[in-house]
A and B are shown apart, each in its own frame.
Chain A
Amino acid sequence: MAGSGTAHLRPRDEVLLQVENLYVEFPAGRGRTVRAVSGVSFDLAKGETLGIVGESGCGKSSTARALIQLPRPRAGSVRLDGLDLTSLRGEALRRVRRRLQMIFQDPISSLNPRRRVREIVEEGPKVWGRGALDVDEVLEAVGLDPATAAVRRPHEFSGGQCQRVSIARALVLEPEVVICDEPVSALDVSVQAQILALLEDLKERYRLTLVFIAHDLAVVKNVSDRILVMYLGKTCELAPSEDLIARPAHPYTKALLAAIPGSGLDLPPADRLISGEPPSPVDPPSGCRFRTRCPRAAERCAREEPEIRPVNGGDHYVACHFPDL
């Protein structure tokens, strides 16, 4: 799972967004470094939804923020239509950012409490002038009443409605890629279903390309065409959604699936597939980073980091020395 390598990337001219060998690190004090993301690569074709799944500390949110260069990754490239965002500075970067937008997990924290909802959605068009969608039209598209939005502030709305506001704010600039960082994790089941349905509708209507990050595999499977599984800053497995759930090749993917209660899948109990707790990203294990919890770990896993390689034929990729085929 130290899955490095780029065997799974498609030719550059076939994809809209290509992320190659992304490294994100933060200082952890006393001269130590949190290795949040270590050599992750993936790509997105236009109109595709890529799900990124993993547990806390796997680096999925750090990856999302590195895509928009907030903060800038330590190494690697993020190419939007061939243009490398990591090489841009200042005004050029500001111009390109509007083509990537983001939706956050906490519906309350992502809206300025002191501004009216309409002002929040209008911010993008105000900054950029022409070239944005009509604010009222977008408000209606996300299921909000423009008249109410003009007078109300975020705290007068429910969590689900606040998330609609965030979506409207992201969409109004007609972005090419929308990065959704746990957009439904803070919502109730019924509201979650509303927001997921809304995202699917909007994706169709505005021809969006989505990166959908979540810890809940069932949610990710519902919206994604392909799923990337991350563990401790590394790639474990990348496969079309159905394929990943039906034939998980990586031991960690399997454990993740088995841990979901009432999954209806034919898997052994999770406590036989994974043990203990994730190690600290400050001091990740050598070789494969999953080996400390993996029932199959062998001596080779500590020595040698597995490379991403195709398995099962087709477009199923895994980074493991002993995958389940």
Chain B
Amino acid sequence: MRRRFGAGFWIATAWISLVVAAAALADLLPIPGYDETLVGPPRSGPSAEHPFGTDGLGRDVFSRVVHGARVSLGVGIGAVVLGLGLGAPLGVLAGYRKGFADAVIMAVNDIALAFPSLVFALAVVAFAGASLRNVLIVLGVLGIPAWVRLIRGATLSFAEREFVLAARVLGVRDRRILWRDIMPNVAVPAASYAFIGMAVVIVAEGSLAFLGLSVQAPTPTWGGLINEGRTLMETAPHVVLAPSIVMFLTVLSFNLVGDRLRALTDVRQSGLEPARQSAPLPAGPGAEPVTGALLQVDDLRTHIHTPRGTVKAVDGVSFTLERGRTLAIVGESGSGKSMLIRTILGLLPAADVSRGGHVRLEGDDLTRFTPEEMRQVLGRRLGTVFQDPMTALNPVRTIGTQVTEPLRVHLGMSRKRAREEAARLLASVGIPDPARTLGRYPHQLSGGMRQRVTIAMALSCGPDVLFADEPTTALDVTIQDQVLRLIHRLREERDMAVVLVSHDLSVVRQWADEVIVMYAGKVVEHGPAEQVFARPRMPYTEALLQAAPRLTDPSHHRLRVIPGRPPDLADVPPGCPFRPRCAYAQDRCGAEAPPLTGDHDHLYACWHPTGSAVAGAPEGAESHGR
């Protein structure tokens, strides 16, 4: 997973390297000694001979800054190594052993963190004498509590991962687990914090030196130089400015490198926002709006530009949907089903995405809407329910505030009316005691109840279409049954259309009227649910149906195994995308992409469609479990 660091990171790294090299090689550089007086006229400004000018005694400021870097960097690196060296083992111990060791270490640590550290540093240095060693030790020891806390946190998060459990099951000894499984993972956050820590220590050392409590003259330090130059501010400001700027740039660089390293370990932000910045793809032969259709999607395409190439996440999808119907979109991970929904809703990452095609809601082309207009449509006419209700709900706000918000914003209800309406909505999605639930927080509800709340929110403004993206995947099967039943009932009551995205064929079989099967960003089969399940024509659909275990099959029944894997969407082979895995593939399949054709309303993209009924498939979805 190579991530770009960006130019700033490399400039900062170059600066740090330059300063470190200059400090290390200070004695070898062709510059005057740092305490040689009258190497030039006193207080002269920067010149070719003295790039940073000279100070009040005619000493070369450049030389003094370079030598001063030795102290600043030495203390910076030394204190961090000391803090890390003592703090990391304690942190690992606390995080891995937990229990008693953790309690003791963290109690001591919390006390240490509560200590006024700068006062402590001042007192110790004033008492023990200002020397490089004392400053380094004091600053190092003061850093330990922060290190313990950081390393413990990182260790805890990894110690609970399954790979550590797996190592213990293998009989690996603790020491080896720490060394091979925990340490390499903790090292990345530790390294990033080390850089930020160095910046902190350099500033702290500068402050001590400014107060005269660091290494004593004649050895120059950055803080000391600034202190000395203070009296010359009026006549020779460069004496103060030169060390200040160098120190500023160095601290900035350390912080920047540390931040970038940390970003490396962070989860990438999704950045999903209504956006229109993306360049449109050339429009295909646009179909005319179908009259009477509630939602019409026409040749929709979403191409994401990545360093590996253009990922055709959605590649030419069309369908129409009427009121009172449920359309299911099925496919495996990476088939583009979730991206299709996001494209329809206009929820795409802003950068590096091109989209094409049209989405018409009762004739209005949503692809031409501004983000502001789209926000209006999203609240009022299109409802959404996603897989994880916890991400859809704000954890620090009550259910009441969150359910009433769309009512007040979109429908302009008063607080009191919105609250009454919210209670009514919660009751309609089967939440017991709705009035009390309004005052509760999301974490106080079960997963099934939270999903009911998001459904209530999606329905609050009476949408025309409800988009449910894997609405029950995170739920238990008995709760899944309740939630799907609820969505179905609400569809009937409100005369909505439902777009149900699911990887679960049995859910789709039971609840959808119409099915779209997606593979590699394309629709490969589209038709009435009972037909697609009973008589799939596309070999992929057939294979998928036979790969899913069924309760009616005997135990140890051999499932159909589809060889290989779906294609890389950045590099889809020519012809039919399923060809490399298809049992029926022939020459033509590799040369020419099959169009989506078929008889009547059952469409499939295949040159050699299968005709046989799937053995043992229950006839149709006629039961619908209602």
A217-B548 Cα distance, complex, nearest whole Å: 12
B482 within 8 A of A: yes
- Most B CB atoms within 10 A — which of A110, A120, A160, A262? A262
- The answer to whether A219 has its CB under 8 Å from any CB of chain B is yes
Given contact pairs A55-B478, A109-B161, A277 touches B449 in the complex (Cβ within 8 A): yes
Chain A residues near B543: list those with CB within 8 A: 190
Could you say which of A160, A190, A221 contacts B551, with CB atoms under 8 Å apart? A221
Interface positions, chain B 545-568, Cβ under 8 Å from A, are 547-562, 565
Shortest beta-carbon distance from B80 to chain A in Å: 22
The distance from the CB of A306 to the nearest CB of chain B, in whole angstroms, is: 20
Q: Is B481 part of the contact surface with A, judged by Cβ < 8 Å?
A: yes
A285 within 8 A of B: no
Residues of B within 8 A of A101 (CB): 169-170
B1, B170, B506, B548 interface centre (most CB from chain A within 10 Å): B170
Complex contact A256–B332 (CB within 8 A): no
Indicate if the CB atoms of B477 and A215 lie closer than 8 Å. Answer: yes
Q: Which B residue's beta carbon lies closest to that of A227? A: B555
Q: How far is the CA of A242 from the CA of B553 in the complex (A)?
A: 9
Q: How far, in whole Å, are A263 and B510 apart by their CA atoms in the complex?
A: 9
**Which of A6-14, A28-36, A73-81, A123-131 lies at the binding interface?**
A123-131
B478 x A197 contact (CB < 8 A): no
Q: Which of A17-25, A111-119, A294-302 contacts B (4 or more CB under 8 A)?
A: A111-119
Is A270 a contact of B559 with CB atoms below 8 Å? no
In the complex, chain A residues whose CB is within 8 Å of the CB of B165:
65, 70, 102, 104, 110
Contact A166 B166 (CB under 8 A): yes
| Interchain nearest-CB distance for A262 vs B (Å) | 4
Q: Please give, as numbers and ranges, the residues of chain A lying within 8 Å of B556 by CB-CB distance.
A: 200, 222-223
Chain B: which residue is nearest A270 at the CB level?
B481
A221 to B555, Cβ gap below 8 A?
yes
> A192 with B547: in contact, given A256-B477, A264-B552, A277-B449 (CB under 8 Å)?
yes
**Interface contact A196-B333, CB-CB below 8 Å:** no
A137 within 8 A of B: no
Query: Does B446 sit at the interface, judged by CB under 8 A?
Result: yes
Q: Across the interface, do A100 and B559 meet the contact criterion of CB distance under 8 Å? A: no
- Is the CB–CB distance between A271 and B482 below 8 Å? yes
**A273: nearest residue on chain B (CB-CB)?**
B478
Cross-chain contact A218 with B172 (CB below 8 angstroms): no
Q: Which of A234-267 contact B (CB under 8 A)?
A: 241-242, 245, 255-265
Task: Compute how far the CA of A215 lies from the CA of B169 in the bound complex, rounded to whole angstroms.
Answer: 23
CA distance A298 to B436 in the complex (A): 29
Q: How far is the CA of A38 from the CA of B7 in the complex (A)?
A: 59
Contacts of B480 in A (CB 8 A): 259, 261
* Cβ–Cβ contact A261 & B506, under 8 A: yes
* Known pairs A265-B551, A277-B446; A114 contacts B544 (CB<8 A): no
Asked if residues B169 and A68 are in contact (CB atoms below 8 Å), the reply is yes
Say whether B555 contacts A222, CB under 8 Å: yes
- Among B178-186, B389-397, B402-410, the stretch in contact with A: B178-186
**CB neighbours of B602 from chain A (8 A):** none
- Interchain CB contact (< 8 A) of B170 among A56, A124, A160: A124
A39-47, A90-98, A309-317: which lies at the interface: A90-98
A242 in contact with B555 (CB, 8 Å): yes
Q: Does A264 lie within 8 Å of B166, measured CB to CB?
A: no
Residues of B within 8 A of A255 (CB): 478
* A271 and B558 form a contact (CB under 8 A): no
Q: Which residues of A contact B478 (CB under 8 A)?
A: 55, 255-256, 259, 270, 274
A189 within 8 A of B: yes
Using A188-B333, A261-B510 as known contacts, say yes or no to A95 and B171 having CB atoms under 8 A apart. yes
Q: Is the beta-carbon distance between B549 and A221 smaller than 8 angstroms?
A: yes
What A residues does B176 contact at CB under 8 A?
127
The answer to whether A82 has its CB under 8 Å from any CB of chain B is no
Q: How far is the CB of B533 from the nearest CB of chain A, in Å?
A: 8
Query: Which of B162, B171, B511 lies in contact with A106, CB distance below 8 A?
Result: B162
Complex Cα gap A225–B556 (Å): 8
In the complex, what residues of B have CB within 8 A of residue A159's CB? Answer: 333
Closest Cβ–Cβ distance, residue A255 to chain B (whole Å): 6
- A: residues with CB less than 8 A from B are 55-56, 65, 68, 70, 94-95, 97-98, 100-102, 104-106, 109-115, 120, 123-124, 127-128, 155, 158-160, 166, 169-170, 173, 188-194, 196-197, 200, 215-219, 221-225, 241-242, 245, 255-265, 269-271, 274, 277
A-B contacts, 24 of them at CB < 8 A, read A97-B169, A102-B165, A102-B166, A112-B184, A114-B184, A169-B170, A173-B170, A193-B561, A197-B558, A197-B559, A200-B558, A223-B556, A224-B555, A258-B481, A260-B551, A261-B625, A262-B618, A263-B551, A264-B552, A265-B552, A269-B625, A270-B478, A270-B482, A277-B448
Binding site for A on B (CB under 8 A): 1, 161-163, 165-173, 176, 180-181, 184-185, 332-333, 446, 448-449, 476-482, 484-485, 503-507, 509-511, 543-544, 547-562, 565, 618, 621, 625-626
9 further contact pairs, Cβ within 8 A, besides A115-B184, A127-B171: A115-B181, A169-B166, A189-B548, A190-B547, A222-B557, A259-B478, A259-B481, A261-B507, A265-B551
